[in-house]
Structure 1
Amino acid sequence: MMQQSTNILRTPKKPRFLCLHGHLSSATILEQQLKVWPESVTSKMEFVYVNGSVPLDYDDGTSVDQYFGWFDFDKVTMDQYEIIDEGIAYIEDRMIELGPFDGLLGFSEGALISASLPGLQQQGLCLKKVEKIEHVIVISGGGYPVPELTEPALPFPINIPSLHIFGETDIARRHAPELVDAYVDPLVLYHHGGHEVPKLDEEGLRIMYEFLERINAIF
């Protein structure tokens, strides 16, 4: 008797992003910030939010939230490169613990890190224990220049899909193009706002959907 062949239907996997918040922020805050994007966008990706390695004290008189950063620059007796290495090692540990991940998404300080890590990784300088970063979303990146991070990361073309988002009155606007220029064929979503995760107008949605197609998101 002939054996009947069967086709196993596999559900395509959503691209998974490790999400890095800004300075003096948190995983919870970034998750709230991204809620301005419509479900037609967010449902195509999986976001995993983590707090930075450095707890920060800040009292605005109204909030009881805990805030974080990614680098402990208060360690004045340490070499700054060592501080950067510690922060990157912390991120790699989270990628091992919660991964695997396909990409990185970052806002502000987290965006600067997200844009730099693929360049460092492709040169064999970091993230040696995790899979290659395949794509990045960089939101308001460049407002917190850290030469010890960017100078070794950005001189060589980074050939992965990238989406760069920044605003007309964004404090990151001056340095954001440096991160854009580091990538091969980047997509840029420019909006009229400031240092924020913007709502997506018709043009913003068009660019976002193009990025989702480049990273093979499910439609």
Structure 2
Amino acid sequence: MRVLIAEDDVLLRQGLSLLLEVEGFEMVGAAQDAETFLELFDRHRPDTAVIDVRLPPNFSDEGLRAAAEIRRRVPNMPVLVLSAHVDHEYAGELLGSGTNGIGYLLKDRVGEVSDFVEALTRVARGGVALDPEVVDQLIGGRPAGDPLGSLTDREHQVLDLMAQGHDNAGICSLLGLSTPAVSKHIGAIFGKLGLSGPGNGHRRVQAVLTYLRK
């Protein structure tokens, strides 16, 4: 899997490159700013990209705009965005570009190598990987009277893991529940949220994310 990185911090940029190479990824380039990143993207057309939200020259949302640009050039281009902290506006903008091959992680997660690699792999395959803190704040910030308020604690846990991109088997393992129990909770969640229709785990994640963006 060919990866392109955009990160202004030289130590983190080199560290990410080395980490991914050790984990079996092929590095096609590592840029320190958005302009260079876009040039490398057009030259190499990687399979996926890892981008810091804030890049030179203004350190505002250059990385986010670069992520949106490559997804404009290549629809549903897998991209994993890294941020130093949770920003609702940035998370919302990222989700607004679609829910195929999207990831938003806090930089602290990079140190959890297995989780980071799993998230990048999931995104590269067209899945979703949201940082647990992002999901918690999106769910926790819903207004009074919102349908999410009708969910039980267990249903909130299941929804949290669904929004992070876990399939039913993963939820069973993480929560220590049986397959029928997880299916029952998911059915209850979609019933309470007014979401219906058949679909696999990924389509369910898309529906949940679509709901959370509203």
Task: Give the TM-score band, short-chain normalised.
Answer: 0.3 to 0.5
TM-score by length of 2: 0.40
Q: Which has the larger radius of gyration?
A: 1
Structure with higher helix content: 2
TM-score by length of 1: 0.39
